[in-house]
Structure 1
Amino acid sequence: MQTMRWYRTVRSRRKMNKRPLCMAAVCWAVLLWLLGQAGISFFTYAPPVLPLQASASGARVTGIVYRVDCYSYSTNLYLKKTNLILNSKKYPIDRIKVTVKNEKTPEKIKPGCEVLVKGDLQEIPLPSNPGQFHERAYYYPRKIKWYQEASGVEVTEPEKDKFLCVQAKLKERLKKGIYSTVSEKKAGILEAMLLGDKGNIGTENKFLFQLMGCSHILAVSGTHLSVIGGLLFGFLRKIRIPYKTAGGMTVLSMGFYGSLTGNGAAILRAVIMFAVSVGAFWTKRTYDFLSAAALSAILLLLESPLYLYDSSFLLSFGAILGLGSVFPVLFSEKAGEKRGESRKEKLCRGIAAGLQLGISVWLVLLPVVMYFFYEIPVWGIFINLLILPTAGILLTFGLLGCLLGMVFPLFGRIVMLPAAGILEIYLDTGKLAAYIPGALWITGQPKLWKCAGYYVLLSLGLFWKCKKERQKRKCEKDRKRREELVLWGMLTGACLLLLIRLPGSGVIVTFLDVGQGDCACIQTDAHSGYLIDGGSSTVSGVGTYRILPFLKASGIRKIKGIFVSHMDEDHVNGILELLESIEKRKTSLRVERIFLSACRETEEKRRELERVGKAAGCEILYAEKGTCIKDKSVVLECLSPSGKYRGDWESNEASQVWRVQSRGFSILFTGDVQERGEKGLLGETGKCQVLKVAHHGSKNSTPEEFLKEVKPEAAVLSCGEENQYGHPHRELLERLEKYAGQIYNTAEVGAVGMEVGKGKIKIFCYRERES
């Protein structure tokens, strides 16, 4: 019923032809984008500058703590009103995210206190691989522009900001109310839904909600504020508080709640829109849904222009655009409420309206979801038919149970029962969805021109439909059918433009930046390829946070083969993470085969990888000299180790060595091969255009006689920035400068991509593209 009332309101507002605020919001967004393209630092991700050329090393900073995140080994402090202390003077700088080990964290640290932090300031890094999380894109809109590894933290004033102190105490009591009424597993989810703290959700629960296409419910958003604001406003009116006073009190309460839960873009939008609706009533003006959203967008972008590129901002306003613009145009003739309907007819109409709302929102959000997350939950629209009607009930009973749990835990548990039951249904639905084939469909990251083309086609289709309606002439059924076919044909064309990835003109080889480790991907067509190694000794979670996001962003759904050069951690731990994710159905990526080599030194690790690979549905094969794989125009040939040496050599010298040939070009992958392994390669490799340098640039690998034979035109080094081994060694670099052409180091330029075409190899460096 609420949906239908909302629909009638929106439908009546469609008669408003003039929405100057909407046009102003569009012009303002375009202007901000142009200023960013012009390179003006305030509108870009340019790194911050310290005052008076102060040193970032050993900096002393004061600031007010406004958020504290505690983890197993460390604590993150978020500081505002920060000042750099230099020669006993204070100089204002941007907000800081401080990381301090738990044993060095003072017990008195709470939001609202002022602290003095000592430690090195660090620029927030740009991503170094396609698909990698863009830290600056997340933190810069929130005014956080520095990281600081704290060597010491001192509380200088325990209650500097009284408002934050009150909020922190209230939040702590609310948390206790939640944990006293439900199990710890469900309490972590409710803590995220009601208070905005996601640290205790658990990775499995987070994935289940992602699978259902309703991750938004885990963050405090406009939906939450609408429910909570509606409850409060209804209660105030029930106790006969005048409408204007009740509206003002609700706006203030929503603002306080938004501040309590983090003041995200969606929260601020909801607060502003509700305030506008109350203001419209006070001034006896018409409230327009889209104009209020446009005003909130203008205000948010005025406060922080980089929200223009923030996924939460785009998703929030995209959903509003779908509800306010797409839904009334596409389904205006079908969603009206009828009198004398039976319960069955009302139920069917409600389900149809839910689907129509879901389709409308997804038509707007599809490019945004694909661009930022590289995959879409296929069944999300249908599962949201369960989520949307019950979310209000869950939030209502969850909040009431939390409030009662603070004082009367027993009554809180009773009131919390409906919320706990709904949460259980959500989790069971997510577990069921995990077993549906293709529940998460990897789409890849679309090009920006494709996103633009999609929105052009969508806008043309909606404009065409509106124009036909304005003609106000009677149409025969077949004419109406033709109009529907044209409209949905344009929408289908827009989706196909976005979703279809045509195969490239050549093979794409990418050497990923995984820190001190190795990983390369050979993409042979639009949705499949091969991996050579995948691990790191300096980047934690390298498989989850670097390799898998790269594969998704590249649109790779199937790995035809993983070649494990040898079993050292910096070559294999990321592969183990991938296989475990596949086994637990946390990704729709599939791996067909894993190619191993025997080595007595690493027998135990090889058995572990073999076990995990089989559990993930992979075929386990063993590669040796002479193993050859042909895939269209690509030939992969194993040059080492020789069969007669299997298992006898040390791990590094027994590394697999692969020569990849395509269209007359050769790329040589050498793992960590050295000594006997390299001697065995002499006379086998021939000239190769590209050499993946062995052992991260160690001086003990890649000798002069080897380089004389390979004669590479380009050499790629994979090592970590300022790694403890000093890779790449100066001696090795001197040999490369003598015998190789271009030299690329992933620690300096990020991922190195190579597109093998007809007669040439096109090379690009990801970090240079991003900067």
Structure 2
Amino acid sequence: MKGNWIFICLSALLGALFALDGHWIFFGLAILLFLFLIQLRKFSASMMIVTVFIFILFLGRAEIGDRLAQTLFTGEEKAFSILFEEPPKIDGNYFTTYGKDEDTKETLVLQHRLSTIEEKEAFEQISVGTVCKVKGTLEPPEPSRNPNAFDYKEYLRHEQISWILDVENIDLNKCEEKRNVLTFLQKIRQNGIQYIYAHFPQNTAPFASALIFGDRNLIEPDLMTAYQRLGIVHLIALSGLNVAMLIGILFYTGLRLHVTREKMVYVLMAFVPIYIILTGGAPSVIRACLMMLFALVLTKFSRKKLMPVDILSIVFVGYVFIDPHIVYNVGFQLSFVVTYALILSASMLEKYTLKPVAFLIATSIISQIASMPILLYHFFEFSLVSFIVNLVYVPLFSVVITPVLMIMYFLHLLIGDMLNPLLHFFDFNLRLVHQLTLFLSKFPFNTLVLGRPSNLLLVLYCVGIPYFFFRWERARTIKQTVLAFIIPISLLAIQLLTIKLDVTGEVTIIDVGQGDSILIQLPMNKGTYLIDTGGTLEFPTEEWMERADPFEVGKDVVVPYLKSKGITKLDKLILTHGDMDHVGGAKAVLQTLKVREVVLPKVEVSSELETEIMDLCDEKKIPVHFGMKGDAWTDAGYRFEVLSPSNMTHLGKNDQSIVIYADFGGLRWLFTGDLEEEGERKLLASYPNLKVDVLKVGHHGSKTSTTESLLEQLEPKIALISAGENNRFGHPHGDVLTRLEERSIRIYRTDENGAITFQFRGEKGTFFSQFHMIKRNTN
């Protein structure tokens, strides 16, 4: 089996994926793997039996596990006895945590909106291992409402969680503590994190918590984003480096205390599983700890030596057998893929062992290229500067920041506030590192945004990247090395070309909740326009209720969706009028993407938001055009015309919305913003012969829009309504729906269908929705 455990690992992975996803492609890949092992690896009959058995075993394990994980709740239950499994997360007035129902043993997500600061302080006292009586309502998790968006429902499925418990009341006076080894260790972790935040300075505490206990929740969102953009976020996550460092410190300390090497091996073997719990059980830590534990066991009890790749593969097989769903975890994927890449590249890295800088560069390149398809699939972008930045940050974190934080934590436990002068000196220097990180992250071209790769491209990445490593390892000259690097560059170029040369055009009504945001992409990347950006309505709140990273539609919905499509540039950002639910996300778009032109309506008095947007455009030197009736532009033969507003400034803000007419995909389109009855009357008077096929219903289907006269004249066949699910305004109004239905107009609504997409080639196109395909083709 020496060196062959990696194939057992692949067989186990394909078996689990075939069971969990049900795609026959995984069965086909398994057949190809078996043929490869027979023909090229010359596996014996007994080895092939083992490999096929592993495939069947993991297929069955995942299938049975999925069936056993089916919920026992009906959704009607109101009272629960909950064991709190992790420390509560309280961000402003929002409480969330995981808890296990004592009767069914099902894990639930608990969430609650805190109403008073006293209630917040009470909820902060909930500790791990506490069992409380909880009253609330079970809600199924929401699926993603936009293509390529984070799917919370799917994420919880892989965590084997079926319900969210919307808490109404927790009787904190009648809670009991459940005492066992697990909860004891979890409490040590919770107390350790609380100790750090109570005694460490502001800049140091979040990083100490992250690098000692694996808790990154209180790192500032802007700083976390900066580390992600630079491709160094792995440095503030616990990994093999932290495990090896801590094991080294403990081993050396034991020897200095005159504990024998043999006894220290036993101590470390006992400590490693404990460390997994103390650090929150992140996949990267579990992987590193299990590899360390396996190596210690072999050292103590066996004379056999296993190759590192075999140890990693055995750990993988064991980990996935215990939890098949873990293969969908991003941290798990990155940890194992990067570790495999580094281990398999060991012979190549040996060439650079006497050249520390070259070794660090090679290690960084291997890690980044190995993780490239995972990063592109989940985050749609790839850092271009990580190879350079890692030269500074890897030594800084591995030699200075991480070990110093560990040492200072243990010293503070011993000598308390006597350590404060050193802590504040360290905090000052760490603040300088944070400022440098934020500064570097703002440089243009830090990341390459390519969107989510297609399944075919993923296959090309999975084949091309290992082949690149093979060619690089075999390279003996500079020319051969350069030729090897053409492979990953070509893969990125292919994905870029699939975006730039796509012959399909697309219109997407992005689901932004109660608001509007419409993306229009012309074929062959000839024009990309965004009409409105949605926005989150903000209400005055007390200081204790403010969240560290509040939800904002532009930042959290619109920008990620555009990135998932590989969009980094907008030819026009058209903001139909100044209401928050249409322009609230504009600042996030302007700060993240390159925008060639912003179009605003010409009004006598601009809203505060519109003024802020114009100021930002001025700062970024983006031209602003005030759209008026008669404006038009043509791209790639497609004509767009502004029909409203005219110079009648006495109209209300909604009725001065920019209205756009366009003709593509064999359909005539009218985008109306928040146009209401008076604006519709003016529009019809100006264009008495106007007819359309697709009407973007004005003002989210408000009762004051989409009048009888508008529908009579336009004669639309399809109506698109952008409205928030269960919104407090009652949009779309029943009268509007009745008027549309009486004329047999097909209605597509974001509150029911999620995002609505129309893809077209030439004069033919098809409507889709996020939740199901809408069977509507156009000729």
Secondary structure at 2:655's aligned position in 1? coil
Give how far 1:617 is off: 3.5
Quote the RMSD (CA, aligned, Å).
3.0
Change (3 A) 1:422 1:374: farther
Whether the 8 Å contact between 2:80 and 2:135 is mirrored in structure 1 is yes
Deviates more, 1:556-565 or 1:217-226: 217-226
Whether the 8 Å contact between 1:95 and 1:143 is mirrored in structure 2 is no
Distance, in Å, in 1 between the alignment partners of 2:587 and 2:652 is 22
Aligned to 1:394: 401
Distance, in Å, in 1 between the alignment partners of 2:85 and 2:471 is 53
Letter in 1 for 2:530: L
From 482, 494, 497, the counterpart of 1:497: 494
Give how far 1:140 is off: 3.6
Identity %: 23
Give how far 1:168 is off: 5.5
Aligned to 2:75: 55
Distance, in Å, in 2 between the alignment partners of 1:144 and 1:454 is 32
Change (3 A) 1:335 1:602: closer
Distance, in Å, in 2 between the alignment partners of 1:296 and 1:617 is 54
From 538, 543, 562, the counterpart of 1:551: 562
Letter in 2 for 1:193: L
Aligned to 2:288: 270
Distance, in Å, in 2 between the alignment partners of 1:521 and 1:45 is 38
Structure 2 length-normalised TM: 0.85
Change (3 A) 1:189 1:331: closer
Secondary structure at 1:535's aligned position in 2? coil
Give how far 1:276 is off: 0.7
Aligned to 1:258: 276
Q: What is the 5 A alignment of 1:157-556?
A: 157-163=175-181, 166-167=184-185, 170-171=188-189, 173-175=191-193, 178-179=196-197, 182-282=200-300, 283-325=302-344, 327-328=345-346, 330-331=348-349, 334-337=351-354, 349-392=355-398, 393-413=400-420, 416=423, 420=427, 423-424=430-431, 426-463=433-470, 484=481, 487-500=484-497, 501-524=499-522, 525-526=524-525, 529-537=528-536, 540-556=551-567
Distance, in Å, in 2 between the alignment partners of 1:738 and 1:544 is 39
Secondary structure at 2:439's aligned position in 1? helix
Aligned to 2:3: 19
Letter in 1 for 2:18: L
Secondary structure at 1:295's aligned position in 2? helix
Distance, in Å, in 1 between the alignment partners of 2:490 and 2:329 is 27
Letter in 2 for 1:530: Y
Give how far 1:380 is off: 0.8
Aligned to 1:117: 134
Give how far 1:439 is off: 1.2
Change (3 A) 1:168 1:36: closer
Give how far 1:735 is off: 2.2
From 697, 700, 715, the counterpart of 2:701: 697
Change (3 A) 1:435 1:745: closer
Distance, in Å, in 2 between the alignment partners of 1:513 and 1:36 is 28
Distance, in Å, in 1 between the alignment partners of 2:740 and 2:81 is 44
Change (3 A) 1:685 1:22: farther
Secondary structure at 2:532's aligned position in 1? strand
Aligned to 1:729: 733
Distance, in Å, in 1 between the alignment partners of 2:589 and 2:180 is 47
Give how far 1:769 is off: 7.2
Change (3 A) 1:138 1:423: farther
Change (3 A) 1:297 1:640: same
Give how far 1:126 is off: 1.4
Distance, in Å, in 2 between the alignment partners of 1:371 and 1:428 is 30
Secondary structure at 2:598's aligned position in 1? strand
Change (3 A) 1:79 1:100: farther
Whether the 8 Å contact between 1:756 and 1:762 is mirrored in structure 2 is yes
Q: Deviations over 1:251-285 (max 9, x none)?
A: 43232232122111111111111111101101122
Instruction: Please say if 1:78 is aligned against 2:98.
Output: yes
Letter in 2 for 1:384: N
Q: Deviations over 1:2-35 (max 9, x none)?
A: xxxxxxxxxxxxxxx8433211111111111111
Change (3 A) 1:485 1:654: closer
Give how far 1:451 is off: 1.5
Letter in 2 for 1:697: G
Secondary structure at 1:145's aligned position in 2? coil
Change (3 A) 1:429 1:720: same
Distance, in Å, in 1 between the alignment partners of 2:480 and 2:551 is 55
Secondary structure at 2:88's aligned position in 1? strand
Aligned to 2:713: 709
Letter in 2 for 1:505: V
Q: Deviations over 1:417-473 (max 9, x none)?
A: 78546634532431331343211222211112102112212334445677x79xxxx
Count, aligned residues: 714
Change (3 A) 1:603 1:203: same
Distance, in Å, in 1 between the alignment partners of 2:8 and 2:559 is 40
Q: What is the 5 A alignment of 1:633-652?
A: 633-643=637-647, 645-646=648-649, 648-652=650-654
Q: Deviations over 1:518-553 (max 9, x none)?
A: 111112354962111112457941111100100111
Letter in 1 for 2:493: L
- In structure 1, stretches of 5+ residues that fail to align are 1-16, 84-89, 338-348, 470-476
Distance, in Å, in 2 between the alignment partners of 1:290 and 1:741 is 61
Secondary structure at 1:510's aligned position in 2? strand
Change (3 A) 1:489 1:537: closer
Whether the 8 Å contact between 2:450 and 2:495 is mirrored in structure 1 is no
Secondary structure at 1:62's aligned position in 2? strand
Q: Deviations over 1:743-766 (max 9, x none)?
A: 211112211111231121222212
From 89, 111, 114, the counterpart of 1:98: 111
Aligned to 1:620: 624
From 3, 9, 12, the counterpart of 1:28: 12
Whether the 8 Å contact between 1:403 and 1:412 is mirrored in structure 2 is no
Distance, in Å, in 2 between the alignment partners of 1:30 and 1:234 is 42
